[in-house]
Amino acid sequence: MTSGPLNMVNPFAVLESPGTLAGDFYARSFEKKAGPNRVILNLGPQHPSTHGVLRVLVELDGEYVVRAEPVLGYLHRMHEKMGEVKTPWQYIPNMGRVDYLHPLAWNWAFVGAAEKLAGLTVPERAEYLRVIGCELNRIGSHLLWWGAFVMDLGGFTPILYAFEEREKINDILQIITGSRLTMANFRFGGVITDADDRFIGLIQEFIPYLRKRLVMYKGLVTDNVILRRRLEGIGPMDVDLCQRYGATGPILRAAGLPRDLRKDCPYGVYPKFNFPIPSGPVNDSFGRYLVRLKEIETSLDIVEQAVNSLPNGPIMMDKAPKVSFKLPAGETYFAVEGARGQIGVHLVSDGGKNPYRVKLRAPGFSNLSLFAEAAKGSLLADAIAILGSLDLVIPEIDR
């Protein structure tokens, strides 16, 4: 192993890459601001509760958090820069790597931005298939968060159930995407694979199955007195705090503001479906837990409506763009509702073969930003619960 400079906060951590050297410099400046008799603790960059390569510096007074600061950049892969050196077609697979838990939402954001800029019209059947895929993908993302979150709090069994359900969802999505993780079946002007009888049949079996399982999860986990005491009243985040940091998605809705792009700025064929926007009634960690479970039920309702009313027709527009497709000069912004909040793509083109600029709006970055304020004054164990309630996917934060 190559030796490197020692981390002054944690002398047992050897740092080797330029990114971690920058993190170490930040750690030293963080330590200088610490009060007397305070402990500086590293959570990460490799720590089970961070669910990825995230580092959180914590200043403790006994068991209480005085300060907490995330240190980012350990997983930076230059996705936005790659958008400038790849053709639009080549860049589509990148979206599944930005957020591997809800890749189809990121697919939709980029493809939708390109379609908006180029004035492309997507066939109705393709729009329905996009909704079905995105909502099943959202359910899988929320289930994995649910299992991992409860595991952070000491409960191991739920994550086994979560992966069992997620495998069933992946069995369905693999039919139309050919993948089980970094999915990318959206194309400019439609989708690449049509739904067959097996795809529809598996969905029709899965919907009532998961609804029954959600009832079981309520008794097993949601109503569990130990879980509730770990979450109720922990990490309250009101609307003002969320808006100051730009938090969106389940975090903002749990704070009591029912903002959802599928309703507020509808795209695709979402206006054709009837579904509620879960919000509140409490803005603590338990409230964020409840909102996500309710969103699973909402997504099941949307998928059921979409499957029952799936129209016939093509899945790709006539004269769909080929591999040599160039975006017309101009700029646009397109946003979708991801599992963690608003996903946005600001696309700028000068008419060349590659986009001039691709700016990605990742919801996790804003959601993580409020952690320092929300965790201040909490117990360290409660800070872990607050961090887990944010549902972070580190690749989209670092990009």
Q: What is the DSSP letter of 344?
A: E
CA angle in degrees (0–180, nearest 5) for 218-222-225: 125
Output the furthest CA–CA distance in the chain (Å, rounded).
70
In the predicted structure, residue 160 carries a pLDDT above the cut 90? yes
How far is the C-alpha of 163 from the C-alpha of 80, rounded, in Å? 31
pLDDT score recorded for residue 62: 87
Q: What angle do CA 23, 341, 123 make, to 5 degrees?
A: 125
pLDDT, residue 30, reads 63
Whether 25 has a pLDDT exceeding 90, the answer reads no
> Structure tokens of 115?
């379609």
Phi, psi of 269, deg, nearest 5: -110, 20
Q: Is the pLDDT of residue 19 over 50?
A: no
Tell me, which fold does domain 79-361 have in CATH?
Cytochrome-c3 Hydrogenase; chain B (1.10.645)
At 39 the pLDDT is 80
pLDDT tens for 334-344 read 999 999 999 99
Given a cut of 60, is residue 297 above it in pLDDT? Answer: yes
- State the span(s) of the chain assigned CATH 1.10.645.10: 79-361
The Cα–Cα gap between 229 and 343 comes to 33
The whole-model pTM stands at: 0.90
Question: Concatenated DSSP letters for 277-301?
Answer: ----S--SHHHHHHHHHHHHHHHHH
CA distance 57 to 47: 12
Given this model, what pLDDT does residue 31 score? 65
Q: CB-hemisphere CA count at 13 Å for 350?
A: 5
Q: Do 326 and 351 contact (CB within 8 A), yes or no?
A: yes
- CA angle, 326 then 329 then 331, to 5°: 110
Dist. CA 228–CA 238, nearest whole Å:
19
